[in-house]
Amino acid sequence: MGSLFEVETQLIIAQKLGFLTASNLKNIFELLNKEAKMKNSLINKIKKS
């Protein structure tokens, strides 16, 4: 999860500097959230096996 938080921080900085719109940032965060859920699900399944 640490690297995901780093990416989120960098994206927020990019938005504040004008490289991303608030709408783009929201869409990217939604995708990151989906990816985090998939990653956690995979990790949990591997731990159980």
Confidence band, pLDDT 50/70/90 cuts, at residue 1: low
| The pLDDT value given to residue 21 | 97
Taking the CA atoms of residue 34, residue 40, residue 6 and residue 19 in that order, the dihedral angle to the nearest 10 degrees is: -10
Higher pLDDT among residues 1 and 30, named by residue: 30
Domain holding 41, by residue range, is 2-48
CA-to-CA dists, residue 44 to 5, 10, 31, 41, 47, angstroms:
20, 27, 20, 5, 5
Tell me: the pLDDT tens digits for 4-47?
889 999 999 999 999 999 999 999 999 999 999 999 999 999 99
Contact 25, 12 (CB under 8 A): yes
Q: Give the pTM.
A: 0.78
Q: What is the pLDDT of residue 30?
A: 96
Reduced to 3 states, what is the DSSP secondary structure of residue 17? coil
- pLDDT at position 49, please? 85
Count up the domains in the chain and report the number.
1
CB 16 within 8 A of CB 8: no
